[in-house]
Amino acid sequence: MNFGASRLGFWFLNSPFSLTWNTSQTGIEPSCGIGGWDISNQGLLIRYIVQDSTNCGGCNPNVQTGTASATITTGLNSYYFYYELRGIAEYQNANYELMDLYIAKTGIPIVTKLVSASGKEEGLGCVSGEAEQTVFVPPPYTLDSNSTYTFSLNFTTNDPLYHVGCYYECALRFVRI
Amino acid sequence: MNSLELRGYIGNLRGQEMKGQKTKEETIAALQNIDWSNIEELEFCPISSLQNVVNNYIATLQQ
């Protein structure tokens, strides 16, 4: 499967950080093949692969979920943090398949939702298409120097229906200010 | 309303709540007002699945 990695090259050039993600997932069936979290490009691209649902001829009858988190410490410099959620999504109903990206700064008890991605309200049954992104905080997000930040990703299908060839991925990029 | 139409209705509620167009309380009230006895169950969209979705969503909203 081609996830378009070549056009993403600019995202990951000379990154000042690599990310180590702690992940968990539920509902993935090992007998159904590839599914769940997949991490590449030093942790700057993290993807959740959804196994096809049984109602569309696939193998997985479950709600599929995942969580992932990663932490960075900025050191002497400040950074612009760019982010994007995208993928291939259900085109039956919106807001069943959902991926959310959050950020939290250590010492500050606020978790900020940056962006979400979901399927589209097209009523097309077992047809998939590009995921729709809803941006709550437009990038870039400024990361202060001498600070620690935690990035969190939540994914769920909410129900076990209408997943065909779907995946959701988060691309992250850091630029020193 | 059939079960597939209800699935769309629940998804739209989630979208409205997520974007701040509906409060958590309004969303919970709308979910609790679903008349399950009048839903026609369609193949591939079981009502039991939708009831799980609604119960989980209400629990999340009440956290």
- A47 to chain B, closest Cα gap in Å: 22
| Residue B19 CB-density burial (10 A; 0-12 exposed, 13-18 middle, 19+ buried) | exposed
B15 at A interface, C-beta within 8 A: yes
B53 at A interface, C-beta within 8 A: yes
Given this structure, which CATH class describes domain A5-176? Answer: mainly beta
**Per-residue pLDDT tens for B3-42?**
999 999 999 999 999 999 999 999 999 999 999 999 999 9
Distance CA B33, CA A13 (A): 52
For position A162, what pLDDT does the model report? 96
Q: Collect all residues of chain B within an 8 Å Cβ-Cβ radius of residue A63.
A: 52
Tell me the mean pLDDT per 10 residues along chain A, length 177: 50 80 98 96 96 96 97 94 97 97 95 97 95 96 96 98 97 94
Number of structural domains found in chain B: 1
Distance CA B59, CA A38 (A): 29
Please give the residue range of the domain that contains residue B26. 3-61
B44 at A interface, C-beta within 8 A: yes
Structure tokens at A84: 């994007």
- Cross-chain Cβ contact A121/B19 below 8 Å: no
ipTM of the complex, rounded to two decimals: 0.91
Distance CA A137, CA A41 (A): 24
pTM: 0.92
- Cross-chain Cβ contact A94/B15 below 8 Å: yes
For position A12, what pLDDT does the model report? 64
CA nearest B9 in A: which residue? Answer: A93
Distance CA A171, CA A84 (A): 5
